[in-house]
Amino acid sequence: MGTLQAGAGGGAPGTEAVGCRVLAVGAAVPTPVVTNDRLADFLDTSDEWVRSRTGIRERRVAPPEQSLLDLAARAARAALAAAGLSGGAIDTVICTSSSIDTTFPALACRLQTALGCSLGPAFDLQAACTGTVYAAGVARALIRTGAARRVLVVGVEIFSRALDWHDRGTAVIFGDGAGAMILGTDADPGSDIVAVRLGADGGGADALWAADYAQVAIEPEVLAPAMAEPPRNLGRVVRMNGREVFRFSTQVLERLVIDLAADGGLRPADLALVVPHQANSRILATAASRLGLPPERMVQNVDHYGNTSSASVPLALVEAVQDGRCQPGDMICLAAFGAGLTWGGLLLRWGPTPVALDDPRQHETAARLAQIDRAATEPTRAVRER
């Protein structure tokens, strides 16, 4: 991995006039909660170890009947309801996930149909935990060039189906959830996406890595126990160099906040709130201290959701707004980092932007979503079974 230099953002800061803002944000999480103690039932770990190293107490894990599409649609519907928009008002859909269930068709295509969006482009974007911020950056560029009017961005994870539950180094960290942002041109002089920074350094690609199980040459001794008692999550294998990722994350988070604040003519201390990717409470506390920010201005909810990868920034933002921590006119920095290695951030002037957390009691569309999902995934099953 190369050294991060001042201003390394990879993209034009884009501090020009208004034109694109966040119209609404929504989030959804599965209902079942899995505590650290529950993990310690089958993993050589403890609540004390996980809490002291990561800040995580518990995470959500999707039940077998819940699909990625279902979770994505719940977050998207929450955002649409908050914005007072119907699916038809959306002309472009971008999904991002580190635990995607089909290579194709894109999840975004299935979501477009499920929500009744207009037949504009729908595609998936891969930038791991930076995915939602990358997608928002792309959405803003599309909107500013007139290629799109209202873009739905959804980060969704059912990480529990992508983990090796025998690997205590990764199994304790990740969780399931979804977050959605709607970006558009709708006039509101009070709010704005002031600046965007996106970057990547493929030199750190092997620090955090996942591949389809079928494409990984598994050593026989690893495969044998899996065959004796097949674990449920044979989809992917996640490998992480925790220390290297920790070092990268603290450095890049600090750099992103400094650079984004400067893009808006500000110092980090002028920011009302930083909403970072929820990787680990120690990473967030270290970055806050280096930036001279009081801890309460660095949003944290990793304790109850774990690392929800691409969903984590919108999920944290929804909670912060619901707690009254974002007021109109506030300058807010969203900052994410993850595998790639990738990083990205947005500087927002907050408006009266509505947010909503999905109400899990509303299950009215589950059957329809299951139908769309079955149509998309059944050929895959047929190939597997051959």
Ligand X SMILES: CC(C)(COP(=O)(O)OP(=O)(O)OC[C@H]1O[C@@H](n2cnc3c(N)ncnc32)[C@H](O)[C@@H]1OP(=O)(O)O)[C@@H](O)C(=O)NCCC(=O)NCCS
> Where do contacts with ligand X occur on this chain (CB under 6 A)?
45, 49-50, 53-54, 129, 168-169, 172, 240, 242-243, 245-246, 249, 279-280, 283, 307, 338
* DSSP 8-class letter at 298: B
Beta carbon nearer to ligand X, 53 or 325: 53
Length of the chain: 386
Least distance from ligand X to the Cβ atom of residue 98, Å: 9
Place of tokens 């969903």: 311
Q: What would the DSSP string read from start to end of 91-139?
A: -EEEEE-SS-S-SSS-HHHHHHHHHT--SS-EEE---GGGHHHHHHHHH
Least distance from ligand X to the Cβ atom of residue 58, Å: 14
How far apart are alpha carbons 355 and 181 in whole angstroms? 9
What residue number has its CB nearest to ligand X? 242
Least distance from ligand X to the Cβ atom of residue 193, Å: 23
Is residue 304 part of the annotated active site? The answer reads: no
Beta carbon nearer to ligand X, 50 or 331: 50
Least distance from ligand X to the Cβ atom of residue 240, Å: 6
Beta carbon nearer to ligand X, 67 or 281: 281
Q: What is the CA radius of gyration of the chain?
A: 20
Is residue 363 part of the annotated active site? The answer reads: no
Residue 90 CA, chain-centre distance (Å), reads 20
Contacts of 132 (CB under 8 A, 6+ apart): 96, 153, 154, 155, 179, 181, 310, 311, 313, 314, 336
Least distance from ligand X to the Cβ atom of residue 279, Å: 3
CB 107 within 8 A of CB 72: yes
Beta carbon nearer to ligand X, 90 or 256: 256
Active-site option among 109, 277, 301, 326: 277
Q: What would the DSSP string read from start to end of 346-376?
A: EEEE--S--EEE--TT--TTHHHHHHHHHHH
Is residue 129 part of the annotated active site? The answer reads: yes
**HSE (side-chain half, CA atoms, 13 Å) at 155:** 29
Beta carbon nearer to ligand X, 121 or 242: 242
* DSSP 8-class letter at 4: P
How far apart are alpha carbons 304 and 357 in whole angstroms? 15
Least distance from ligand X to the Cβ atom of residue 242, Å: 3
Beta carbon nearer to ligand X, 76 or 335: 335
Active-site option among 109, 129, 326, 333: 129
Show the tokens assigned to 273: 């709130």
Residues belonging to the active site: 129, 277, 307
